[in-house]
């Protein structure tokens, strides 16, 4: 059966090839850096498809992380996924990137009744969302300081950044997860499950949650006025 190509660039460049029937991750490549999406993504896709003798036009579709994430990195993955989808004439499905972290929590031995996942939003903030033990989204996504998170277990690299603020909120980072970032494998697995349940994933609009770090210089604003 056809496989899905999964792409996420909300944190690092990450791609995976996933069995459309079982959700098994057949192969995955993730950059160790968080600022090289433009340089690495296309090569990751090319090499992964070649390694598994997968033809792009024969994919079941592409699953892409829509964020939240920073402007530049997130755009790279979304533009790439839409371009591949157009060239190969396969559907493109958008999945919130924080779902990838939630999927990893569901793989652990003890899943809390409710939990939070958090990623690095920079500016001394985190992107976060709350889930129940089945992985259903209860709240979010949001961008905020760690001190405002619910008093729950927190998973993901975002939980390692501001431990004192988490403690103030009554929350705590789960140690085994403190280096977790959104990756294409868990993201694709979530997307396949959602598609099987009839969830509409046709929207691939980016979830930035706030304005870009890049600002229009003051003299340009004055000229426009």
Kindly report, residue by residue over 180-201, the tens digit of the pLDDT. Answer: 999 999 999 999 999 999 999 9
The predicted-structure confidence for 134-185, as pLDDT tens digits, reads as follows 999 999 999 999 999 999 999 999 999 999 999 999 999 999 999 999 999 9
* Strand 14-19 versus strand 25-30 pairing type: antiparallel
**Reported confidence tier of residue 35, pLDDT bands at 50, 70, 90:** confident
The predicted-structure confidence for 50-78, as pLDDT tens digits, reads as follows 999 999 999 999 999 999 999 999 999 99
Give 58 or 215, the one with higher predicted confidence.
58
**Reported confidence tier of residue 212, pLDDT bands at 50, 70, 90:** low
**Reported confidence tier of residue 115, pLDDT bands at 50, 70, 90:** very high
Which pLDDT score is estimated for 34?
85
Which pLDDT score is estimated for 210?
81
Residues 6+ apart with CB under 8 A from 86: none
Domains and their CATH numbers in the chain: 3-97+182-196 (3.30.420.40), 98-177 (3.30.420.40)
Which pLDDT score is estimated for 164?
96
Long-range Cβ contacts of 34-38 (<8 Å, 24+ apart): 34/73, 34/181, 35/73, 36/12, 37/9, 37/12, 37/13, 37/72, 37/73, 37/76, 37/77, 38/76
Which pLDDT score is estimated for 213?
53
Q: Does the structure show a pLDDT above 70 at 220? A: no
- Burial environment of residue 118 by CB neighbours within 10 A (0 to 12, 13 to 18, 19 or more): buried
Query: Nearest-CA neighbor of 26 among 53, 46, 8?
Result: 53
Query: What percentage of the chain reaches a pLDDT higher than 70?
Result: 93
Query: What percentage of the chain reaches a pLDDT higher than 90?
Result: 89
Q: Does the structure show a pLDDT above 80 at 219? A: no
* Alpha-carbon torsion (50, 51, 55, 60), positive or negative: negative
User: Which of 8-17, 18-27, 216-225 is least confident?
Assistant: 216-225
- Do 172 and 188 meet the contact criterion of CB atoms below 8 Å apart? no
């Amino acid at each position: 059966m056809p496989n899905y190509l999964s792409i996420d660039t909300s944190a690092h460049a990450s791609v995976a090839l996933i069995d459309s029937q079982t959700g098994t991750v057949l192969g995955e490549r993730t950059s160790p850096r968080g600022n090289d999406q433009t340089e690495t993504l296309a090569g990751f896709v090319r090499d992964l498809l070649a390694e598994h003798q997968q033809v792009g036009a024969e994919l079941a579709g592409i699953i892409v992380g829509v964020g939240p994430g920073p402007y530049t990195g997130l755009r790279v993955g979304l533009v790439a996924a839409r371009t591949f989808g157009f060239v190969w004439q396969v559907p493109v499905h958008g999945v919130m990137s924080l779902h990838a972290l939630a999927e990893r929590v569901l793989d652990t031995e003890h899943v809390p009744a409710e939990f939070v996942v958090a990623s690095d939003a920079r500016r001394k903030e985190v992107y976060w969302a709350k889930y129940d033990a089945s992985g259903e989204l209860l709240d979010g996504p949001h961008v905020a300081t760690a001190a405002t998170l619910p008093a729950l277990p927190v998973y993901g690299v975002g939980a390692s950044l501001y431990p004192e603020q988490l403690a103030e909120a009554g929350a705590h980072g789960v140690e085994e997860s403190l280096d977790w970032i959104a990756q294409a494998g868990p993201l694709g697995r979530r997307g396949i499950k959602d598609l099987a349940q009839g969830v509409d994933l046709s929207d691939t609009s980016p979830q930035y949650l706030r304005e870009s770090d890049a600002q229009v210089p003051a003299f340009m604003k004055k000229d426009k006025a």
